[in-house]
Chains A and B, each alone.
Chain A
Amino acid sequence: MKKLNISVYRYNPDVDNAPYMKEYTVEVEKNRDMMVLDLLLLLKEQDPTLAFRRSCREGVCGSDGLNMNGKNGLACITPLSALKGGDKKIVVRPLPGLPVIRDLIVDMSQFYTQYEKIKPYLINDDKTPPARERLQSTEERAKLDGLYECILCACCSSSCPSFWWNPDKFIGPAGLLNAYRFLIDSRDTATEERLNELDDAFSVFRCHGIMNCVNVCPKGLNPTKAIGNIKSMLLNRAI
């Protein structure tokens, strides 16, 4: 058996004056790896007051986005062996930049407000809708790959300093990845209106391409590339 030292961000606004880090020790079998979520569940057996979100436990629902040893990710698909310095100490904090509701649970309202702004649904002004589905060629459909897979876990946006400083104005990498998903969709006819909504000093252009979003995306997506493509679309229109 080996001992794991874990430090977890705790804050219950009903009883705590300020957030604090609580130290835990858990004994696990030697040479056995596990996901951070499994470890949190072991901690919850020790201390039932610990609060965190989780649902599917397989990286699909996006509920358990956390900051683990300084890097954002999904607790359910992050093995302890992948944590930098995890053999010495495991530090679990809520996603940075978002208001904490309790312990590891954050208020995602700002994140969803930005997502709503980009109108994340297909807009088509066809007067007569087709009798069946709107067809796409293989090439047109391929353009959506790497975009539609986003699960809105907020790991990217909450690792982005531009989103930390202006969460009310900058759409953030997750929202912009989804914005591009609809801008490039051959079935969407609101491209011009969508671009008009994004062409200000904050919504898109506050991204300076530091690629924190790409570094943390648990689905391996590339929001920086999508944002670059939106910038190109805006500039092609402007010049």
Chain B
Amino acid sequence: MATAAHAQKGLFSRPRAKTGWFSWVTTVDHKKIGIMYMFTALFFFIVGGVEALLIRAQLAQPNGQVLSADAYNQVFTMHGLTMIFLVVMPLGSALMNYFVPLMIGARDVAFPRINAFSYWVYLFGGLFLYTSFALGGAPDGGWFGYAPLSTLQTSDGMTFYALGLQILGIASLGGAINFIVTILNMRAPGMTLMRMPVFVWMTLVTSFLLLFAMPVIAVALFQLMFDRVWGANFFDATVGGDPVLWQHLFWLFGHPEVYIMILPAMGIVSDILPTFSGKPIFGYAAIVFAGIAIGFMGWGVWAHHMFSVGLGPVANSAFALSTMFIAVPTGVKIFNWLGTMWGGSIRFKTPLLFAVGFVTMFVIGGLSGVSHAIVPHDGQQTDTYYIVAHFHYVLFGGAVFGLFGGMYYWWPKMFGRHLGEGLGKVHFWLMLIGFNLAFGPMHILGLQGMPRRQDTYPDNMGWNFWNLISTVGAFLIAVSILVFFWNVVRSRTKGEEAGADPWDGRTLEWATASPPPEHNFDVIPHVTHRDDFWHTKYATDEEGEPVKVFAGGSGSDENIDQVHHTGHIHMPDPSFWPVVAAFGLPVLAFGVLYISTPTLVVGGLILLVGLFGWGLEPSAEEH
């Protein structure tokens, strides 16, 4: 295509490598980006897990000496930040990146370079946060960063917090816009909204939550930054600043954030359960609208994080009611999942185990969550381990189980090989037992009054036994994660080879090869049903029972056979500008941190050069 207009030439030609490390740095392929998201998040999962083990080692016995009080504050803060912003959210992004385009029958996301940019911003933002350990101390004011604790600390930790989360927010915003446009605009012919897999729906709801939650926390973080770096007075009570403003802004973001973490896992589970039950999802419309309802109502419950602030009985009552009410759509989903499995021909493969683990653990976390909605009860629970138990049941027992289920489910599609079933089951049971040992006792400790975020506890409080059990559970979880990583390594060579459709899947991602070719589908599928791929494989007999169809349809084999006819499908070319532009952000952040004009100028220039290179990049047609 060298005949294209020379006027279109850019400053540099676009990189073309499709293999080797440089191809990963410059890739704009949603599948490669998804894999990078996944492994980066798993890396941070190890880091955050080690932090968790340090916390539990410290608390195994009264008057623990493993960490100093100062180090403990840094470790629990970074554990929370890491698990939320660097593990659960990006693991969700990883699976969204890889599978949303496949599930809607698209060749890529709407903005492949913004997608790459989001990943690099995420990576650099995470590394920026972690440089704080070497530069005078990590954030130590909790992931919620309450003022004035966050404004008065003299170490740079909470400035790292303000700037690091700001960077990560840019990644989330880019991803959110990308997925909104991809899902609304790039569906294959016939893929109406109400035919989309539930995971795609939940990605859409999550993206809208991110779109509107990220700017709120951005403002709060900017205000914190101006307070800390330039002496502004937003949260300084001595001159009339209101620390409660921080809490409102933070939780106006923070509660939708909870759904941002759980909805993707709900979507994953809603796709795993039908596959392994041999039935379509029970009450598709109900589960979709329940997800949307959670998305809307998630904006009206934030002050239940602030019942002990003293907002007054009217505000507390209103938020108590809205919080109880949001349990309704969540409960609807639980019944959808139960109804999906009811009467199904269930195959207890590892992904299903994790999905069932998700449902059961999430119910426990949901019930303790409803107990927070009762304001007087919440007064007893606030700042105790009961809260820690609750949110680990929803975020670990919920989101993390769901995400592991998703990885076991989709691993054969991503890498062409299964993760071992035996090791997978060992992983699941170890993790389930370890998880309940680690976090179940925290309900009791919390009700006994053990305060959270304290580095030690005295001997005579009656908390020793359950703390020890909890620590044993935490290390059991660590063992289960080691089993998982061993499974990953082992699957590279010994994993059972997976065909295009190893699970007898229902949705479009199983209609293409494993791993899929760069262009996903040789022929863009035409969708005529919900669970379209299933209908290409099965018809129903007179009794309504599925019967395998051997001919016809646009099933997987046909697509795989066509892989060699792909020369004409033009995919977006790689680009190195996203990584350049993304690198400008941490440099800028260091410039703010040390109020260094040269650093700010350099960072700004890197960002500008990256963006202009991006904007003026030649079109691939010149090649």
Partners in one complex: no
Chain A positions within 8 Å of B, measured between CB atoms, are none
